[in-house]
Amino acid sequence: MYVIAHLSDPHLDGTDTARDRLRSVVGYLRAFSRPVDVVLVTGDLADHGLPAEYAEVAAELDLDVPVLMLPGNHDVSAPLRAGLPVDSPGQGHPVHQVRYVGEARFILLDTSVPGQNHGLLSAESLDWLSAILDEPVDGPLFVAFHHPPNKLQHPVLDQWILQDAEPLAAVLRDRPITAILTGHVHNAVATTFAGHPLLVAPGIRSTGPLPFEPAAANGLVDVEAPPGLALHVVADGQPLVTVYRVVPSS
């Protein structure tokens, strides 16, 4: 068995509110009788991309298991590279990574567009991804990035998802991918993309109600809804199982 704790969107900003919500989730993980194999955080690590915020992210996610992190639209490449243990070729933007943790391979894509809320992958990034996917793989393979390509039928959030997704679908289709893992929309979502499971972790910092749900008290995001995470469980010869958990924030 191999277990991924999939967190997203802590948006650390130096406030107790943001820090306490992440601490609730991390505290929950620390209490496991069997530690997860890896923690994956799918972006919006910092709220403003500031060096001090990345120092806070590094301190709060200093765990006894490997922690993989990738950027979201609130992150900034240079301070993220300087402040966090990412392993990405080149400098600046984008921050793509290929990481092995135990038996699993993770391709971590940077879908952010500096200064923009929406996501986009350049032709160069897609060529890089295609070449990585050409390499033989023997074990679970996850492709993770911040911006999901699927609409939630939400008039605001749908403007900020991954744009021009068909070229990405063409690269991912018919590859031996276990699942695609994303964040960004601050909702726990299960759907498909390019014939693969697409699993979205809830937002630790807040939740974005759908238009037909009871509205959040202060508009777009509900900052009172408790934080949560996804647990992706891989077992030999069995389909991937994902459990979503809500963790009360102290």
Q: Which is nearer to Fe ion, 114 or 176 (CB)?
A: 114
Could you say whether residue 222 binds Fe ion (CB under 5 A)?
no
Write the binding mask 184 to 203 for Fe ion: x where contact by CB under 5 A, - elsewhere.
Answer: x-------------------
Residue entry with tokens 């922690």: 67
> Residues 133, 139, 144, 150: is their CA dihedral positive or negative?
positive
Q: Which is nearer to Fe ion, 160 or 244 (CB)?
A: 160
Q: Which of 7, 9, 142, 196 binds Fe ion (CB under 5 A)?
A: 9
Write the binding mask 147 to 186 for Fe ion: x where contact by CB under 5 A, - elsewhere.
Answer: -------------------------------------x--
3-class DSSP string for 219-244? ECCECCCCCEEEEEEECCCCCCEEEE
Q: Which is nearer to Fe ion, 45 or 141 (CB)?
A: 45
Phi/psi at 6 (5° precision)? -105, 110
Taking the complex as a whole, the smallest distance from the CB of residue 114 to Fe ion amounts, in Å, to 13
Angstrom distance (rounded) from CA 23 to CA 29: 10
Write the binding mask 68 to 97 for Fe ion: x where contact by CB under 5 A, - elsewhere.
Answer: ----xx------------------------
Angstrom distance (rounded) from CA 6 to CA 28: 13
Q: How many helices (H) and strands (E) does the chain have?
A: 5, 11
Q: Which is nearer to Fe ion, 19 or 175 (CB)?
A: 19
Count of residues engaged in binding Fe ion, rule: CB under 5 A: 5
- Find how far residue 8's CA is from the centre of its chain: 5
Angstrom distance (rounded) from CA 248 to CA 171: 39
Q: Which of 7, 12, 29, 44 binds Fe ion (CB under 5 A)?
A: 44
Taking the complex as a whole, the smallest distance from the CB of residue 26 to Fe ion amounts, in Å, to 18
Q: Which residue is nearest to Fe ion (CB)?
A: 44
Distance set, CA 154 to CA 170, 175, 209, 242 (Å): 25, 30, 9, 24
Taking the complex as a whole, the smallest distance from the CB of residue 172 to Fe ion amounts, in Å, to 21
Q: Which is nearer to Fe ion, 73 or 125 (CB)?
A: 73
Q: Which is nearer to Fe ion, 169 or 220 (CB)?
A: 220
Calculate helix-pair angle for 51-60, 16-30, nearest 10 degrees.
30
- Residues near Fe ion (CB under 5 A): 9, 44, 72-73, 184
